[in-house]
Chain A
C-alpha cells in the first residue's frame, strides 16, 4: 500500500492494472488516453497530473508528472479537479461519473465520449483504490 502519486504508487498501479484487469472483459478493448490534473496538492499547494493510455484495453502508458500538462502527449480527454476530489474518488466515497456530473471534475473533450469509457475507467480506478491508502492531509 502506497501514497497517492508517489513513484511506488505509479509503478505498482501499472503492474496491478496489467495483472488484474482483463483487456477485453474489464477494459473492453478501449483505446483512449486520459490526462488527470490534480490541483492544490498538499502540502505546497502544487499541481500534478497523471497520464494514462490504453490501447485495445492494454495499459500502454501511465506516468505521473508535475504541472498541468503532460509533455509530448495529447490526451483524448482531460479531467481536472482538486486533490480532495481525487482523494474521495480513490477512497471510493464518490464515483468518477458523479464527480463529473457535479462539476467536481472538469472535463475537456466530449462528455459523451468520456461517459462511454466511464465503466472501463471505473475498473482502473478500482484497482488504484486497492493499492492507495495514504494521502497528503
Chain B
C-alpha cells in the first residue's frame, strides 16, 4: 500500500491496470488522454498533476508532475486535493464530483462522461492500492 501520487503509486497503478483491467471489457478499447490537476496539495499547498493516456484501451502513459506546467490532453479535470482524496477513498464518484462542480472540466462534457465508466474502473483499482494521504 502506497501514498497518493508517490513514485510507487504510479508503478502500482500502471501494473494494476495492465494486469487487472481488460482493454476491451473494462476499458472499451478507448483511446484518450486525461490530465488531472490537483490544487492545494498539503503540506505546502502546491499544485501537482497526473497525466494518463489510453490507447485502444491499453495504458500508454501514466505519470505525475509537480508545479503548474501541464501536458496537453483530450480533457482536463481540476480540483483540490481533498476531492481527489474523497474520490480515491470512494466517498464520491468521479461523475458526481463533476456534476457537483467539485472537479472542473475543460473539454467536452459528453466525451468526458463517455469514459466515466471505464475511468471508474481505473479509480477502483487505484482505490485498492492507495491508503496514505497528506493531511
A/B: CB atoms within 8 Å of each other: no
Residues on A close to B: CB < 8 A? Answer: none
Residues on B close to A: CB < 8 A? Answer: none
